[in-house]
Amino acid sequence: MLERKPDDASADRIERIAIVGAGVIGTGWAARCLANGLNVVATDPAVRAEERLRAGVANAWPALEKIGLAKGAEPERLEFCAKLEAAVSRADFILEAAPENEDIKRKLIAEIDANAAPHIVIASSSSGLLPSRIQADCRHPERVLIGHPFHPVYVLPILEIVGGEKTGAAAIRSAEAFFRSIGMRPLRLRTEIEGYLGNRIQEAVWREALHLLADGVATTAEIDAAVRLGPGLRWGFMGPFLTFHMGGGEGGMEHVLEQFGPTLKLPWTKLEAPELTDELRQRLIDGVRNQAAGHSTAELERRRDACLIEIQRVIAKHWPL
């Protein structure tokens, strides 16, 4: 392994990954890295952590074979190491996946920072904490950032990259290159906010769903059905904005805003809506028009329909619930 500088954005010399925390997310990271032919060393103080980790990787392996393994990929390239220091000191890239608690992560990342070579990137899998806070006690905070995946980490492509006040541009470039090299689609946030993007949306869903459950309006199964048989099928490839744009037919988002703009004032959720200013309206309309990238509405409708039909067939084939 050659010496790397933090401004070296290539991911091709990264061979050994340290994973700190081997719960559901850490196990997902191990599976994804192993499938990409990397060596993984994992550490976790929990009882039976190694056993659970290896069982999780084994359960994920058929999916990884289906996706396609990199040359040399094998589950045996996973090493478990009881001591954090030993795990991180030899790593070329470090994934932190400890419990979601600011105090725990802040202390743990400082400990990783004290034991890893100073140019090695430390990417935290935090689901929504501010990177400026969790990097605060580090000697080399410039290499600390958020690299937030969604579970199952070894199948879903999304990876949110969020830098803190002290994160360096070189570390962000290195992280983007690394995550891309293991088949992910890094999405770099412009601003550091709690919950980032995906969990802002997911948390809004979670809170509204909890209100419906707490108020006795519906069961978990009914609320899940309302999402999975309708809006959920659309969000998986169109996202919320393009879904509404397509819902407006030829009139697109402009028509939707005429039709449903006023409902922002109605109590259709417990979430307060922002003011639909002319500026916000324009940002919406321009945004989705750019996304449609010149494809005609009729073409997108036919392609959307094909996706929805085949996605439902996939679900009918594989999903038992």
CB of 121 to its own copies, least distance (A): 21
| 151: contact with its own copies by CB under 8 A | yes
Report if residue 197 touches its own copies, rule: CB under 8 A. Answer: yes
- What is the total count of residues that contact its own copies (CB under 8 A)? 134
Task: Pick one of 3, 47, 48, 66: the residue that binds its own copies (CB under 8 A).
Answer: 66
Residues 95-124 that bind its own copies (CB under 8 A): 99-101
Helical packing angle, 231-247 and 297-318, nearest 10°: 170
Q: Which of 11, 35, 49, 60 lies at the binding interface for its own copies (CB under 8 A)? A: 60
Q: What is the rounded distance in angstroms from the CA atom of residue 250 to the CA atom of residue 75?
A: 51
Task: Confirm or reject binding of residue 65 to its own copies (CB under 8 A).
Answer: no
To its own copies, the closest distance from the beta carbon of 245 in angstroms equals 9
d(Cα 91, Cα 1) in Å, to the nearest integer? Answer: 10
Q: Which stretch binds its own copies (CB under 8 A): 37-45, 94-102, 111-119, 168-176?
A: 94-102
Q: Find out whether the peptide bond into 62 is cis, omega within 30 degrees of 0.
A: no
DSSP code of residue 270: S
Cα torsion for 294, 297, 298, 302, to the nearest 10°? Answer: 90
Q: Residue 156, interface with its own copies (CB under 8 A)?
A: yes
Q: Which two tokens stand for residue 231?
A: 């809006």
Q: Give per-residue burial for 153-166: e unless 16+ CB within 10 Å, then b.
A: bbbeeebbbbbbeb
In this structure, the number of other CB atoms found within 10 A of the CB of residue 308 comes to 15
Provide Rg for the chain, Cα atoms: 22
Question: Please, which residue, 180 or 185, has the CB nearer to its own copies?
Answer: 185
Which 253-292 residues touch its own copies, going by CB under 8 A?
259-260, 262-264, 266-277, 280, 283-284, 287-288, 290-292
- Partnered with residue 107 across adjacent β-strands are none
Give residue for tokens 């084994």.
Answer: 58
- Interaction of residue 47 with its own copies, rule CB under 8 A: no
Shortest Å distance, C-beta 281 to its own copies: 10
Binding mask 2-31 for its own copies (x = CB under 8 A): ---------------------xx--x----
Among 1-9, 10-18, 110-118, 229-237, which window interacts with its own copies (CB under 8 A)? 229-237
Q: What letter represents residue 16's amino acid?
A: R
Which contiguous run of DSSP H or E holds residue 17? strand 16-20
Residue 170 in the binding site for its own copies (CB under 8 A): no
Q: Which residue, 60 or 84, is less far from its own copies as judged by CB? A: 60
